[in-house]
Amino acid sequence: MFHRMNKIPLYVIGSLLFGIKTYIVYRFLFNIELDNIMQEIILFINPFVSAFLVFAISVWLKEERQMKFIRYASLIGSFILYFNLIFYRNFTDFLTIPVLFQGSNAADLGSSVLALINIPDILLFLDVAIIWYVSKKYGNSLTVSYKKRKKVLAFSLSIAFLLGNYILAEIERPQLLQRTFDREYLVKNIGIFNYHIYDIVQQSKSKAQRVFADGNELTEIASYMNNNTTDNSQTDLAGIAEDKNVIFVSLESLQSFVINNTLHGEEITPFLNDLIGDSYYFENFYHQTEQGKTSDSEFLVETGLYPLPSGAVFFTHGQNEYNSTAELLKNNGYSTSVFHANNKSFWNRDVMYNNLGIDQFYDVDAYEVTDENSVGWGLKDKPFFEQSIKYLQALPEPYYSRFITLTNHYPFDLAEEDATIDKFDSNSKTLNQYFQTVRYMDEAIKDFFDQLKAAGEYEDSIIVLMGDHYGISDFHDRAMAQYLEKDEITAYDHIQLQRVPFMIHIPGEDGKVISKIAGQIDVKPTLMHLLGVDDSNDLSFGTNLFGDNRKEYIALRDGSFISDDYIYTKDQCFNRETGELITSETDDIKGEAENAIPNKCEPIEQQVQQELTYSDQIIYGDLFRFYDFNNKNIDSDENNSNENKKK
């Protein structure tokens, strides 16, 4: 049988085997949404296009090297595909070049990575095993010395298939390579391997931006911020927390769907539910993080800028000039600190914190961590807060201190003796365990409040609690639909699940529930408003959440947005209140051109893309090095600008 195979070019056999494997991964292991038959067709053909493009290179090699090339191309391609699958299972996203440079985080992933590996995954390397077996046994009979005409034909077909794939993708998704906030669109239209090539090109371009930046771009960006995001109006709450300590707690992976909700007839977060009554609670508050997750949420809170579309700013641009929340407060007499029982190098925090003006970082070395008081990613939340109190009491007042919790982190492991609510019963182990670690964190926050009161740190502080990012990705949609008693999780539901808790507790104030849309980018100006700190010279895309002149939308990093009336995501526009899909004002027939952006969402969608692009320009170009925040002056001479900042 194998002797007859030499009638079929070896690179064609390799392309077919690898293409079939890749399509199976796309269709059944990635949770890629397909909205129409055209997307189905493109998703089917692009694995074979990519495989043919690579394997056809072998025709230009000598006979003895052809089989070796195909063997190693198949092996390397399989590892690239598998690493993306592992990453996708946790983050519902695809690897990027900046993420690969965050490899120093890998040593701390531990059980998280192991939980993502399944024994059946070995089948993904079956085609590699077949190719290696055949090449070893029948290699000589399968290789061919190709004539120049056939080499050119193979090359021409590769390019023709690639162009055909791209043309179909452009028909399905116009301006595909210009509107790249959503990596899923790139993968399902051009394939994961071509996507990686595109990512390399984009990252190379971004690295060059800083070299050629001169600060002139800031004039337009600053004007946009002043006209569209700045709100200098004063409210009754302006300065209500002046000179008070700020205790900011980052609630790991906590989503709003558990707040005021139950499991097995029990409240999941009883303490946080009660605290809402004594706090300013924003029930429509969205996380805006991307691949940097917790570090992205920190970046949003500290800078009022959006994180990057790929990688983590903490890694890729940790040396940039910023004007952080910590620096603004230091200029007003605050000491600044972060408490987090993890390695100081994780997310490059030891470098980034210095650049953000953090005076003291209490990392894992500041804590007594044992096998008994740790689980998953490290020190459990209860001993974490308990051991932190002594450090908090020793800080010069007023202080701005951020606490980052750990226990409610994927894969949401918890010792049986620490679990005070039963697991959920679904097909998702991740969601089943999530409720237990959420309850544990809720109990830890309750204990922390008691400890603050006992230590005398409560009355003269404001306490801010914020979910940092989602905990349950859409990889677990089926189980989530079961818990929420829905038939399915739609694109609209997915956006609503990006809501995370945000509450500001001011002792002595009654507080209230606020329904206006809000996001993490708004935290910085909101805190400055409450603390009575002048931030009129700051540049930020956020708005004071208590002000009247707020912009009408919250932008997510993938280009989706939530406005007062609409939710826009994946080229679909929904009524925010009802979830009903809104069609174009010029065509009321549902089922119109799938790629047309409905008119009601289009104006905001364009502004969102402009705002995200402006933020990227600031970060990639390190544009704040040209800005004097004291005098609100742009200086294209970097040396003069930095000198002014020092003054």
Please write the tens of the pLDDT for every residue from 154-175. 889 889 988 998 898 888 877 7
State the residue range of the domain holding 457: 231-550
Instruction: Check whether residue 396 and residue 263 sit in a common domain.
Output: yes
The larger pLDDT score, comparing residue 86 to residue 301, is at: 301
262: enclosing H helix or E strand = strand 262-263
Alpha-carbon distance of 579 to 433, in angstroms, equals: 29
Per-residue pLDDT at 432 = 97
pLDDT in tens, 552-580: 899 999 999 999 999 999 889 999 999 99
Q: Which of 56-70, 195-209, 355-369, 592-606 is least confident?
A: 592-606
- pLDDT greater than 50 at residue 146: yes
499: DSSP letter: B
Per-residue pLDDT at 108 = 52
Planar angle of CA 521, 524, 526, nearest 5 degrees: 100
Planar angle of CA 441, 367, 332, nearest 5 degrees: 80
Instruction: Check whether residue 405 and residue 535 sit in a common domain.
Output: yes
pLDDT in tens, 319-362: 899 999 999 999 999 999 999 998 887 888 988 999 999 999 99
pLDDT in tens, 221-264: 999 998 888 777 789 999 999 999 999 999 999 999 999 999 99
State the Rg of the chain over Cα.
27
CB 128 within 8 A of CB 75: yes
CB 172 within 8 A of CB 165: no
Instruction: Check whether residue 578 and residue 501 sit in a common domain.
Output: no
Which of 521, 619, 553 is closest to 287 using CA atoms? 521
Of 533, 550, 567, the residue that ends a domain is: 550
The larger pLDDT score, comparing residue 215 to residue 643, is at: 215
CB 505 within 8 A of CB 511: yes
246: enclosing H helix or E strand = strand 245-251
Beta bridge partners of 633: 628
Average pLDDT value for the chain? 87
Tell me which amino acid residue 640 is.
N
Q: Indicate the pLDDT class of residue 584, thresholds 50, 70 and 90.
A: low
Of 142, 176, 208, the residue that ends a domain is: 208
Half-sphere exposure at residue 307, Cβ-oriented, CA atoms within 13 angstroms: 30
Per-residue pLDDT at 178 = 62
CB atoms within 10 A of CB 514: 18
Per-residue pLDDT at 588 = 42
Instruction: Check whether residue 137 and residue 153 sit in a common domain.
Output: yes
Which of 503, 421, 431 is closest to 463 using CA atoms? 503
294 is catalytic: yes
Per-residue pLDDT at 502 = 98
Can you give the CATH number for the domain in which 543 is found?
A: 3.40.720.10
Per-residue pLDDT at 593 = 42
Q: Indicate the pLDDT class of residue 498, thresholds 50, 70 and 90.
A: very high
- pLDDT greater than 70 at residue 76: yes
CB 21 within 8 A of CB 49: no
Per-residue pLDDT at 101 = 62
Q: Which distant-in-sequence residues (6+ apart) come within 8 Å of 529 by Cβ?
A: 235, 237, 238, 544, 546, 547
Instruction: Check whether residue 149 and residue 192 sit in a common domain.
Output: yes
Instruction: Check whether residue 449 and residue 466 sit in a common domain.
Output: yes
Query: 């500290």: which residue's tokens?
Result: 302
The larger pLDDT score, comparing residue 277 to residue 316, is at: 277
Pairing mode, if any, of strands 561-563 and 566-569? antiparallel
Instruction: Check whether residue 52 and residue 35 sit in a common domain.
Output: yes
Can you give the CATH number for the domain in which 620 is found?
A: 3.30.1120.170
C-alpha 108: how far from its chain's center? 19
Provide the sign of the torsion angle of the four alpha carbons 483, 487, 493, 494, taken in this order: positive
Beta bridge partners of 361: 338
What are the strands of the beta sheet with 566-569, ordered from one edge? 553-555, 561-563, 566-569, 572-575, 581-582
Instruction: Check whether residue 224 and residue 254 sit in a common domain.
Output: no
- pLDDT greater than 60 at residue 587: no
Which of 431, 412, 409 is closest to 475 using CA atoms? 431
- pLDDT greater than 90 at residue 88: no
CB atoms within 10 A of CB 301: 24
Per-residue pLDDT at 256 = 98
**Strand, helix or coil for residue 419:** coil
Alpha-carbon distance of 26 to 192, in angstroms, equals: 9
Q: First and final CA of the chain: distance in angstroms?
A: 80
Q: Indicate the pLDDT class of residue 117, thresholds 50, 70 and 90.
A: confident
Q: Which of 141-150, 213-222, 407-416, 471-480 is least confident?
A: 141-150
pLDDT in tens, 417-429: 999 999 999 999 9
Which of 311, 364, 350, 357 is closest to 336 using CA atoms? 357
CB 438 within 8 A of CB 408: yes
CB 31 within 8 A of CB 60: no
pTM above 0.85, yes or no: no
Torsion of CA 574, 575, 580, 582, to 10 degrees: -60
Alpha-carbon distance of 2 to 77, in angstroms, equals: 24
- pLDDT greater than 50 at residue 590: no
- pLDDT greater than 90 at residue 478: yes
The larger pLDDT score, comparing residue 144 to residue 148, is at: 148
Q: Indicate the pLDDT class of residue 90, thresholds 50, 70 and 90.
A: confident
Per-residue pLDDT at 362 = 96
Alpha-carbon distance of 580 to 598, in angstroms, equals: 13
CB 608 within 8 A of CB 228: no
Instruction: Check whether residue 286 and residue 173 sit in a common domain.
Output: no
Instruction: Check whether residue 537 and residue 570 sit in a common domain.
Output: no
Alpha-carbon distance of 502 to 279, in angstroms, equals: 10
- Total domains in the chain come to 3
Instruction: Check whether residue 134 and residue 171 sit in a common domain.
Output: yes
Mean pLDDT of 619-647: 75
Catalytic residue among 22, 96, 294, 405: 294
Torsion of CA 459, 461, 462, 466, to 10 degrees: -110
Of 503, 529, 550, the residue that ends a domain is: 550
Instruction: Check whether residue 506 and residue 592 sit in a common domain.
Output: no
CB 615 within 8 A of CB 305: yes
